């Protein structure tokens, strides 16, 4: 009996020791940490691998669910890529999480701090266009910051942070929404605010005059597309647009935006970001006619000389992890791997349209459409950028 009590006591004491030790392992003491190794819980939060060199305890070993609170430590300079540019895409930067498309100000600040610590260099849109069109040199680790839609919150929250850090950036405006409070949707900036920001390193370019919408393309309204992707259904005429009508509509919209922005800001070049990243060969032909040589999609990737239809990396959203973003940038933003068709049986799951697209020669990136995530066809495109639902508050803005 005595022996049983002895072993039971030892077991209880051992359990208490294990529990106390685990608390020290995860949280440390109020002064110093028990160890210099990042706990597994924190590793999962900040995507740090255990097989990497140990970091200083005051730089990494801070249990938190918000990586924005972690200190940033400057590292020795390294060239991660050269003769290339990473373009980052944002929509709203706000102190509080308004919707899934916004990025917290704290996370945005950490992104900038990490980019500075790892030696990324910001460039202007002028530098970017000269690089793409002429091959004019850009710094190693070059980054272009872009913001879509012209939200008023940019002036309130993102702009002061950029100005404080002397970071140039570009905003793409839906021209008809500027200084137009009656326009449906999330509040946008005014021309007065734009003039103030333009004097301090922020450039402004075309995001259409008023074509940032998704509309029906058939009589039943069961299928919808962004208006720049192709002909839309005309309810009053009870038919679909012809290609010539589609082209004329797009040309009128983009030229209106060009004229207004040039009139207000005196821009000497034309740049366009496609709403929702959606376009077609006809759209690109219109851009060429209007002298718009540089355009942007929402497709992730890194840009080299001659990449006229630029890739962009979505750096916003509530799921954004600043540390993971920097790791992606350090890797040069590799393009997603495309699953290769290994046998005819692989095509059985694609459907007839998907099968046809699979066996066609791959189009150049300049003329590549955005396909549905399932690969079936491009009738319903994947909406990337601000929000998958593209609706918030009293409007319908996204990408």
In this prediction, what percent of the chain has a pLDDT beyond 90? Answer: 63
The pLDDT value recorded for residue 63 is 33
The pLDDT value recorded for residue 293 is 96
Q: Are residues 52 and 123 in the same domain?
A: no
DSSP notation for 186-235: S-B--HHHHHHHHTTTEEEEES-SS---EEE-STT--SEEETTTS--EET
What average pLDDT does this structure show over 308-326? 95
What average pLDDT does this structure show over 16-20? 54
Within a 13 Å sphere around the CA of 202, how many CA atoms are in the beta-carbon half?
Answer: 25
How many domains does the structure of the chain reveal? Answer: 2
For residue 182, give Cα distances in angstroms to 187, 227, 396: 9, 22, 14
The pLDDT value recorded for residue 333 is 86
What average pLDDT does this structure show over 233-250? 97
Q: Residue 177 belongs to what H/E stretch? A: none
Mean pLDDT (the chain) is 77
pLDDT digits (tens, 9 = 90+) for 83-101: 999 999 999 999 999 988 9
Q: Are residues 120 and 182 in the same domain?
A: yes
pLDDT band at 51 (very low <50, low <70, confident <90, very high): very low
The pLDDT value recorded for residue 118 is 96
The range of the structural domain enclosing residue 58 comes to 10-65
Residue 76 lies in a domain: no
How many other C-beta atoms can be found within 10 angstroms of the C-beta atom of residue 325?
Answer: 21
Residue 198 lies in a domain: yes
The answer to whether residue 352 scores a pLDDT higher than 80 is no
Q: Are residues 44 and 89 in the same domain?
A: no
The answer to whether residue 339 scores a pLDDT higher than 60 is no
The answer to whether residue 363 scores a pLDDT higher than 50 is no
pLDDT band at 61 (very low <50, low <70, confident <90, very high): very low
pLDDT band at 74 (very low <50, low <70, confident <90, very high): confident
Predicted TM-score (pTM) of this structure: 0.70
Q: Are residues 120 and 196 in the same domain?
A: yes
What average pLDDT does this structure show over 20-46? 33
pLDDT band at 19 (very low <50, low <70, confident <90, very high): low
Residue 387 lies in a domain: no
Task: Decide if 334 contacts 318 (C-beta within 8 A).
Answer: no
Q: Are residues 163 and 38 in the same domain?
A: no
Between 209 and 364, the more confident residue is: 209
Residue 327 lies in a domain: yes
């Amino acid at each position: 009996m005595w022996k049983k009590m002895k072993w039971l006591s030892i077991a209880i004491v051992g359990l208490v020791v294990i529990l106390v030790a685990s608390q020290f392992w995860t949280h440390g003491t109020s002064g110093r940490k028990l160890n210099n190794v990042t706990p597994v819980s924190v590793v999962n939060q900040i995507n740090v691998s255990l097989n990497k060199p140990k970091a200083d305890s005051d730089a990494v070993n801070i249990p938190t669910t918000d990586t924005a609170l972690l200190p940033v430590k400057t590292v020795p300079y390294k060239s991660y890529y050269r003769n290339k540019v990473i373009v980052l895409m944002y929509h709203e930067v706000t102190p509080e999480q308004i919707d899934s498309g916004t990025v917290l100000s704290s996370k945005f600040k950490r992104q900038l701090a990490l980019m500075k610590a790892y030696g990324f260099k910001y460039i202007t849109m002028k530098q970017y266009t000269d690089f793409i069109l002429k091959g004019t040199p850009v710094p190693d680790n070059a980054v272009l910051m872009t913001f879509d839609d012209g939200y008023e919150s940019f002036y309130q929250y993102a702009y002061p942070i950029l100005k404080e850090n002397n970071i140039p950036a570009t905003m793409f405006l839906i021209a008809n929404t500027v200084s137009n409070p009656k326009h449906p949707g999330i509040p946008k900036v005014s021309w007065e605010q734009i003039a103030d920001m333009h004097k301090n390193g922020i450039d402004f370019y075309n995001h259409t005059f008023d074509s940032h919408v998704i509309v029906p393309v058939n009589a039943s309204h069961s299928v919808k597309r962004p208006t720049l992707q192709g002909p839309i259904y005309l309810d009053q005429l009870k038919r679909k647009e012809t290609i010539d009508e589609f082209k004329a509509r797009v040309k009128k919209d983009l030229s209106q935006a060009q004229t207004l922005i040039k009139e207000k800001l005196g821009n000497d070049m034309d740049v366009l970001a496609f709403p929702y990243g959606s376009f077609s060969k006809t759209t690109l032909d219109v851009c060429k006619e209007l002298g718009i040589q540089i355009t942007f999609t929402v497709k992730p990737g890194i840009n080299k000389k001659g990449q006229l239809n630029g890739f962009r990396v979505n750096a916003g959203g509530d799921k954004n992890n600043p540390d993971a973003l920097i790791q992606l940038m350090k890797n040069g933003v590799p393009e997603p791997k495309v699953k290769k068709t290994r046998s005819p049986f692989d095509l059985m799951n694609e459907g007839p349209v998907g099968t046809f697209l699979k066996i066609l020669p791959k189009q150049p990136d300049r003329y590549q459409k955005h396909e549905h995530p399932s690969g079936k066809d491009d009738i319903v495109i994947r909406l990337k950028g601000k929000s998958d639902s593209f609706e918030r508050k009293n409007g319908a803005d996204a990408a």
